[in-house]
Amino acid sequence: MKSRKTVAQQRLVDQATDYSTWRAQSMVLDTLEGLDAWKNHPVSSHYQHKLIQQRLINLRAWRKAGDWAQLIFSLREGLHRNLGNLANPELYKHAHVGTKLLIDEYTTEVTSLLNHLCDHDIPELPYAQKLMFFRHTGQSFGRSALMLSGGANMGMFHFGVVKALREQNLLPRVISGSSAGSVVAAFLGTHKDNELDALIRGEGMDLHVWRRLKLGEMLRQKSIMDIRELERFLRQSLGEYTFEEAFKRTKRIINITVSPVDKNQHSRLLNYLTTPHLLVWSAVLASCSVPGLFPPVKLMTKDRLGHEKPYMASIRWVDGAIESDLPAQRLGELYNVNHHIVSQTNPHVLPFISDQTRKEGWQKFLRQVIKGEVKHRSKQLMEMMSYGIDRGIFKTLMEGTIAVIDQQYYGDVTIHPKVRLRDYQRVLGDLSLAEFQAWVLAGERATWPKIAMIRDQTIIGQTLEDCIIRLKKQRIRHHGAPGTVEPLVRVKRAA
């Protein structure tokens, strides 16, 4: 049973409105609950602590001795994601903030060494070899992506997740979004950093995007909401950027999923590689076109003269969450992504998600068994109902339902809101500024307990990526001549 002091401290944690306050109060709570000793003691059955401990000792010793040749050799050979099971989520279920201090010390030492190798002139690593070292090591290590699910108004939660990650410099460059998540991804892809802060606070954000059609229009368009109002909002908020233009503007790699109406097409992941000239607002409009709420739409692109025209004019597209809410496989193929941070707000998924940051024992196990059985039986029921039907609206509906049930809705790190019944009642319709800001704060609060795990799992990969960017800038600054990079600091060869 928790003491009064612990209960009072937990209340302070729950009332925090910014990460620094939340972290400070959570660290006090860890101390009150006696968890500091657990953090300081490196031993745990959940990872190979001896491997990590010895590797840290070696790296520090070689650095102190100035043995850069050995350090370079060791880093190139031994940098792998989840080395020694470092990414095991069980390591983050004990304390309110962070995990074993050994893990933090190891990741800090590795990132410090990588930055040093990048920013200093090292005789053992001339420029051309240095760039190759970082490229090959980065390719081996992999990249992280932020994946934003659908969720209608609940998707405004994503803005809070993005805000929390940006403030800690943990926002991946690769971002995917479907349905409501595509709106947030598109805002990130078309707005520079100095423009985003005000938007996330709700300043200048147009929150009037829902307009119900009159009965006659509903019957003609076979939908409930006015797609023209949504298009107006998207064009006004996102501009007329293509995916390629958006990438050049922000350097963020945004990806938007859409699903075809035609059964002879497959879901698409739209981005600056697959559809460079496609208009971003058009991709978002299609990804938000939930069947029944909005009609299917054509995608729009720019021709080589910059004129707007239909993309695959005979094909119409709908909500990306139907077939590919979280396009993990395609992101891996295109960008070498092997680590996924998921912000999950799909209303039909949230009742089946449990909090993975705290230990839950047998209760969690039993819930997972029941949820798995419900999912399996639901899929079987849909398949049985559609058996023998070759075409038609009912067949399409059943296939869509099966696709929704059969998807994977989790990532390596999954962030999700705690929802109430009234949140479901407000899932459609215009939000007030206060409601929007409440969703943003909910996204932040749900992300704060995951910050330490995200940092530990992504900081090495992010450092490798940042180093490659800095090295490319050095090459451009020096006219692309390999080996002519002006050193920031010259490191002497070890004696």
What is the C-alpha separation between 57 and 141, in angstroms, rounded? 22
Q: Residue 341: beta bridge partners? A: 146, 413
Catalytic residue, chosen from 44, 144, 237, 319, is 319
Active site residue 140: no
Dist. CA 461–CA 141, nearest whole Å? 6
**Residue in 44, 149, 179, 324 annotated catalytic:** 179
**CA distances for 311 relative to 70, 282, 294, 296, 438, angstroms:** 54, 10, 19, 14, 38
Q: Is 193 a catalytic residue?
A: no
Phi, psi torsion values for 489, nearest 5 degrees: -145, 135
The C-alpha atoms of residue 155 and residue 345 are separated, in whole angstroms, by 6
The answer for residues whose C-beta is within 8 angstroms of residue 369's C-beta and 6 or more apart is none
Strands (E), 261-389: 268-270, 299-302, 308-311, 317-319, 337-343
Kindly tell me the burial class for residue 71, based on how many C-beta atoms sit within 10 Å of its own C-beta (0-12, 13-18, 19 or more): buried
Contacts of 72 (CB under 8 A, 6+ apart): 117, 122, 124, 125, 133
The bridge status of strand 253-260 relative to strand 317-319 is antiparallel
Q: Which residues are catalytically annotated?
A: 179, 319
